[in-house]
Chains A and B, each alone.
Chain A
Amino acid sequence: MSIFSYNGAAIVAMAGKECVAIGSDLRFGVQMQTITCDTPKVFKIHDKLYLGLSGLLTDAQTLHQKLMFRHNLYKLREERDMKPSTFGHLLSNALYERRFGPYFAAPVVAGLEPDGTPFLCGMDTIGAIETAKDFMITGTSPESLYGMCESMWRPDMGPEELFETVAQCLMSGFDRDALAGWGAVIHVITKDKVISRTLKTRMD
């Protein structure tokens, strides 16, 4: 079995009109055994920046801790939060530093730049960065997630519509994945607040 499908994850991020949404499933499992159903794979970096990490969960957690550490230092020195685009490149660099012994994690970065424009990017396990204007996904069932997102994404969606779209894409995507699911959490980031919702889904 591939190291990337040892734990299982499904993460979808989408851009709307002056808002972004990012969501993940809640399953934590070891190969085919499910251990808990309350493990989100999306982490907050600051109010306008969220990071989703799929792959081996231990590496996802460690990467998150290392990046929080870097961001805290940045905040102390710069006296402001890091821009999402800067964070994306920081993460890409941090992953490439481990080119020949990588973190087995694939990140998706979603946030709002200081001027309010949505920012989305994704990377592979060694930091090859790719930005997108529409959506970014990662997980153990990328084909299912891509299919759903390509069909359902439209430009200039508002926060409520964006939430619905991400929710449906995520849920229908992970319903065909044996290793992801068991609930979902979705964060919608707008310029004044973040609305986080937990979804009740099939628990199989």
Chain B
Amino acid sequence: MDTTLPSTSTPVSMGTSIIAVTFDGGVILGADSRTTTGNYIANRVTDKITPLCDNVYTLRSGSASDTQAIAGYVQHFIAQHQAEEGDQITVKTAANLVKMMAYNNKDFLQAGLIVAGFDKHGGGQVYSISLGGTMTATPFAMSGSGSTYIHGFCDKYWREKMSEQDAMEFVTRALRYAMTWDASSGGCIRTVTITAAGAKRQFIQGSQIPPTYGELSREQVVA
């Protein structure tokens, strides 16, 4: 009798947990892998980390179709820009292109994006673009419905100039807390590390994600 059948009229939303952090030498982007249509998990292995170009990637949250469309346009604009400039685009310029799309179409879009990458002028950078098109540059950023559960954690445990390993641990820890408490986040953890050497993808299976409260020990539940 529950009426939330998956259908073409229920928007596909990426209730999501996404996070990007700068570290000493680059940035790490991390995301969960759940896409929901109402409460049906339409895709449990989604890839929410989309390349805009070789050195800049974006994390997508909000309406899946809106963010896919924005990413597609910006990939095209960046390719054009790089052909004209003859040089790799800066992260700031790429983020500004995303911001322009989000701001100019704010009445029609529901998209929260984080743009992060590495360029030789500014090193690793993270830009967060929220719903109306506000762009903010911060050392780390998180977004999506699951991010609300990890604001405190991230504020406490983030440090400047972490090593790549520490930053990866920070990202995966933050994401697994968000995935535990937010019903619309879950699945596996995907990360992309961007440094001067380029971009490297990693994948942590759901079964390999260490347990949080509730799994470590539990008394027998009796009806």
Q: CA of A5 to CA of B184 in the docked complex: distance in angstroms?
A: 13
Interface residues of A toward B: which range?
35 or more
Which residue from A5, A50, A183 sits with its C-beta under 8 Å from B214?
Answer: A183
The majority secondary structure among interface residues of chain A is loop
- Report yes or no: B44 in contact with A29, Cβ–Cβ below 8 A: no
Q: Is B204 on the interface with A (CB-CB < 8 A)?
A: no
Which residue from B2, B206, B212, B220 sits with its C-beta under 8 Å from A140?
Answer: B2
Interface residues of A in 9-67 (CB under 8 A from B): 26-27, 29, 31-34, 37-38, 40, 42-44, 50
- Report yes or no: B183 in contact with A202, Cβ–Cβ below 8 A: no
Query: Total A-B pairs in contact (CB under 8 Å)?
Result: 103
- Report yes or no: A176 in contact with B41, Cβ–Cβ below 8 A: yes
Interface size, chain B (Cβ < 8 Å): 35
Known: A33-B183, A38-B214, A178-B39. A43 touches B1 (CB 8 A): no
- Report yes or no: A204 in contact with B40, Cβ–Cβ below 8 A: no
The majority secondary structure among interface residues of chain B is loop
- Report yes or no: A203 in contact with B221, Cβ–Cβ below 8 A: no
Closest to B215 in A: A203
Q: Give the residues in chain A near B200, CB-CB below 8 Å.
A: none
Q: Give the residues in chain A near B133, CB-CB below 8 Å.
A: none
Which residue from A40, A124, A200, A204 sits with its C-beta under 8 Å from B1?
Answer: A124
Q: Is B15 on the interface with A (CB-CB < 8 A)?
A: yes
Closest to A51 in B: B223
Closest to A194 in B: B223
Q: Give the residues in chain A near B2, CB-CB below 8 Å.
A: 2, 4-5, 140, 142
Known: A44-B223, A202-B206, A204-B180. A175 touches B44 (CB 8 A): yes
- Report yes or no: B215 in contact with A178, Cβ–Cβ below 8 A: no
Q: CA of A119 to CA of B36 in the docked complex: distance in angstroms?
A: 36
* Interface 1/0 per residue, B184-212 and A, CB below 8 Å: 11110000000000000000001100011
Q: Is A165 on the interface with B (CB-CB < 8 A)?
A: no
